[in-house]
Amino acid sequence: MEVGPGTGNLSMKILEHAKKLIAFEIDTRMIAELKKRVIGTPYQQKLDVRAGDVLRCDDWPNFDVCVANLPYQISSPFVFRLLLQRPLPRYAVLMFQKEFADRLIAKPGSKLYCRLSVNVQLLAKVEHLMKVKRSEFRPPPKVDSAVVRIEPKNPPPPINYKEWDGLLRIAFHRKNKTLLSSFKQNQVISMLDKNYRVVCSVKNKPIPKDFSIKDYIEKVLTENGFVTKRARTMEIEDFLALLLAFNKVDIHFA
Ligand X SMILES: C[S@@+](CC[C@H](N)C(=O)[O-])C[C@H]1O[C@@H](n2cnc3c(N)ncnc32)[C@H](O)[C@@H]1O
Give binding residues for S-adenosyl-L-methionine as ranges: 1, 4, 25, 53, 69
Among the listed residues 1, 14, 18, 30, the single contact to ligand X using CB under 6 A:
30
Nearer CB in complex with ligand X: 84/254: 84
In the list 1, 5, 18, 246, the residue contacting ligand X (rule: CB under 6 A) is 5
When asked if residue 92 is in the footprint of ligand X (CB under 6 A), the reply is: no
Alpha helices in the chain (DSSP H): 10-17, 28-38, 75-84, 98-105, 115-123, 161-173, 179-183, 186-203, 213-223, 236-248
| CA angle centred on 82, ends 80 and 85, rounded to 5° | 110
Grouping H, G, I as helix, E, B as strand and the rest as coil, residue 152 is strand
Strands 21-25 and 2-3: parallel
Q: Which residues are annotated as a binding site?
A: 1, 4, 25, 53, 69
Alpha-carbon distance of 192 to 248, in angstroms, equals 14
User: Which residue's CB is nearer to ligand X, number 55 or number 143?
Assistant: 55
Are 24 and 1 in contact by the 8 Å Cβ rule? The answer is: yes
Q: How far is CA 49 from the centre of its chain?
A: 26
- CA distances in angstroms from 253 to 81, 164, 193, listed in the order given: 22, 8, 10
Q: Does 193 bind ligand X (CB under 6 A)?
A: no
Binding of residue 14 to ligand X (CB under 6 A):
no
49-57, 124-132, 231-239, 244-252 -> range binding ligand X (CB under 6 A): 49-57
Position among 12, 26, 199, 245 found at the interface with ligand X (CB under 6 A): 26
Give whichever of 94 and 104 is closer to ligand X, judged by the CB atom: 94
* Comparison of 10 and 123: residue with beta carbon closer to ligand X: 10
- Kindly state whether residue 106 participates in binding ligand X, applying the rule CB under 6 A: no
Confirm or reject binding of residue 54 to ligand X (CB under 6 A). yes
- The closest of 98, 103, 79 to 145, measured between CA atoms, is 98
220 scored as a contact of ligand X (CB under 6 A) = no
Q: Does 53 bind ligand X (CB under 6 A)?
A: yes
**Which SS3 state, helix, strand or coil, does residue 209 take?**
coil
Q: Does 69 bind ligand X (CB under 6 A)?
A: yes
Of 2-10, 101-109, 112-120, 224-232, which part binds ligand X (CB under 6 A)?
Answer: 2-10
Look at residues 193, 187, 244, 194 and name the one whose alpha carbon lies nearest to residue 216. Answer: 193
Sequence-separated (6 or more) residues with CB below 8 Å from residue 99: 143
Binding residue for ligand X, selected from 32, 55, 244, 249, defined by CB under 6 A? 55
Residue 166 as a binder of ligand X (CB under 6 A): the answer is no
Amino acid at the residue 111: K
Q: Does 75 bind ligand X (CB under 6 A)?
A: no
Give the footprint of ligand X on this chain (CB under 6 A). 3-6, 8, 10, 24-27, 30, 53-55, 69, 71, 74
